[in-house]
Structure 1
């Protein structure tokens, strides 16, 4: 079954065939995922039976979260955006031998047949298909209204969340809201404005349906705060500055989340600044980020922070001490990200993979306020970040100085987290200025990745290919 599903995902990720429904959901419900799933029957369920039972719907949703953790653009492993967009921007150097994918991202030679780009596309649309099956199945599900609403809110949020990254990576994309093969077979790309409108609609609906806090208290599932955090990010990327300020302020002042003052505790699973996180598959396991980035001897076997990144740390910035770690062989030194500090199997998992944390909302609000010309509000939010990092309040006064300070804080607060550095460079229009001098293969068209070549063959309606490829 596993081989069959893998072939299906690789060949037809956004053109789901309804005959695969039992296979797909059988795979979902028989997953080895232990950390998130409730108990469920160990036999294949019919479509009708799946949606008659809250526990099985919950398990199906839990497996989408597991998919995010294990095989999606936001996975913390070697094929996730933290690594690949860290190489694509200016955060990471790579040391893997015979690593054509790393080389392509690092040197900006990504082509339409790049398997990592194909996986960004395929894994996202496969998870979107699963979310859509839940949305469709819940319409007439004989569940209590509160249960159905919560599940629907999660599925709509996850659909929007996955489309958000597809739009950032590829530009105009199809916004898939159905599992109907006949409708999806000839799907075309939509203008980004339409994609963002559909995303906003899904998120606003989800926010109204979701609980204030998910039941476990571990912030593992979507809640109203999670939907608001993504809405704030969406409004920033769509230049809806007032809405971005309002939504980020709602998250900051809501009372559920608080900045963790100790930088060494920010990425622990109990951190009050975490809005949404993903639990490792097995209790005692480290996060994929910890397993990927941490090394104990030099030279590194995988990745290290670039020398320029380390050199540009502001003097006295405690994030260098708390969130990076130096290794030396006596003649040369390397630094690795040390936000996540567990990289071994232990008695318990001390850290979960964080997808949203509160500091981003301060930076979103500052960036939107800058666009609105509210410079004092920008300084206030930047100083929240600076003071926690052990730095003095910003001395920036002019709009240009404040803009530079904002870019600096995005860079050093969110390095190697789901491509935040790259998305800032892209969003702010500074990618060419920053990357052209240090990336010989850089082209202005590199702000978007190519659509996977196989997808254009399977569905010519997805043409034209993005410029530059």
Structure 2
């Protein structure tokens, strides 16, 4: 009997992560929720969960559903591919022309040198953590809908947040890995044999989830700190997805909803403060062990040697004279002997403050919507509208109006503006190079190991070994 129990346990914990993380959430998730909830409550400011949590009681009580959602956001902030702690901002920065890397971590060096293996621990952890988050979101969607005690308004809010999370995580997985399983269930038997969903269908599912989320979510974040996704955040991702799928009309109209509703932060020095007007969604530091952002800790160079990342010369050389972003969003440190000066991303500046969090980690901000609409308008031959939106971003940076006049010139200028506006933010640079087909032209000259197959990361080999339905592996791995 003991042997049988041991074997059953072994079978469970050796399943594919698309399934394993689902099982782990059921077995351990709510225990972890209780243990870590102090930081969860600080993160979103909700009441602590009640004792003796079970799936039924959690999804029959609004406070504990909020706790479950808080745990999702905590995991995203601290461990996932969107975390400022070894997430897309840093590691897709070294994959492109944004950052140089100076340390010796094997997984990171594979990304920097473009010789990523299917066993890479970083890209594998991104995959595993993503599907853990997806399981948690799907569990909320399923169980909240079945709850007999939650009100209709509570169900709408909770399901809207979970649908947004499901869409957001799948959007990042698809941009990194291509065809990926689109998971909408918590059925471990089904998920253990799941196949990869064609990318076109992945985007279709994302857009459908976001449309549903927009209809369900509230207009405002009740915390007042923009730390909980609301209708605006879902629309922001929806506009991005329309851009990625080249639905120019819908990209323009969806971005316009946000531009017409919110105000652009007028002061470039305040864009990354926690109260910035342009921010749509941000992660709050836990306020206990970390009072400031992971991004500041990762990027700001205190000493040379000792730095992990520094801005690449390609980025530094791309700023126009007088660009206020170059002045305010780029810092520098010189070695003690005066021989070496390195530049770093200085968007987030607070490192040593020990009493209050001055900055939160921004995931979505309004500036993206101006550049989404500008690109969509250029594609639709509304050149004057495109110039106007582009100039809104340029003028705030202290630059003159664009000289781009034709459709082709405008699209090129907009992509360059995105490079300078969103450097070291959530992998924007890589996703732009990839979706526009410019990765080869841009990176082949600065990455000696560049291959055309680097356009996608490998599916983790450990996942394929457990679930052969994830084959074929991406070309080149």
> Is the structural similarity TM-score above 0.5?
yes
Q: Which residue of 2 aligns with 1:368?
A: 376
Q: Which residue of 1 aligns with 2:143?
A: 137
1:103 aligns with 2:109: yes
Flag the 1:8–1:280 CA change in 2: closer, same or farther, 3 A: farther
Cα deviation, residue 13, structure 1: 2.2
Q: Which residue of 1 aligns with 2:252?
A: 245
Corresponding residue pairs, total: 460
Q: Tell me, which stretches of 5 or more residues in structure 2 are unaligned?
A: 1-8
Q: Which residue of 1 aligns with 2:460?
A: 452
Q: Which residue of 2 aligns with 1:431?
A: 439
CA contact (8 A) 1:132 1:177 kept: yes
Cα deviation, residue 11, structure 1: 5.6
Using the alignment, how far apart are the partners of 1:235 and 1:206 within structure 2? 16
Using the alignment, how far apart are the partners of 2:297 and 2:406 within structure 1? 42
Alignment of 1:57-456 (within 5 A): 57-77=65-85, 79-96=86-103, 98-141=104-147, 142-254=149-261, 257-282=262-287, 285-329=291-335, 330-456=338-464
RMSD value over aligned CA atoms? 1.8
CA contact (8 A) 1:299 1:334 kept: no
TM-score, scaled relative to structure 1? 0.95
Cα deviation, residue 106, structure 1: 1.2
Moved over 4 A (4+): 7-11, 16-20
Q: Tell me, which stretches of 5 or more residues in structure 1 are unaligned?
A: none
Deviates more, 1:306-315 or 1:419-428: 306-315
Per-residue CA deviations over 1:215-272 (Å, capped at 9, x if unaligned) read 0111111111000000000000111110000100111102xx2111111110111111
Cα deviation, residue 405, structure 1: 1.2
CA contact (8 A) 1:29 1:59 kept: no
Alignment of 1:17-56 (within 5 A): 21-31=26-36, 32-33=38-39, 34-41=42-49, 43-56=51-64
Flag the 1:11–1:339 CA change in 2: closer, same or farther, 3 A: farther
Look up the SS of the partner of 2:168 in the other structure: helix
Look up the SS of the partner of 2:363 in the other structure: strand
Flag the 1:143–1:326 CA change in 2: closer, same or farther, 3 A: same
Deviates more, 1:307-316 or 1:17-26: 17-26
Using the alignment, how far apart are the partners of 2:101 and 2:409 within structure 1? 32
TM-score, scaled relative to structure 2? 0.93
Q: Which residue of 1 aligns with 2:5?
A: none
Using the alignment, how far apart are the partners of 1:149 and 1:262 within structure 2? 36
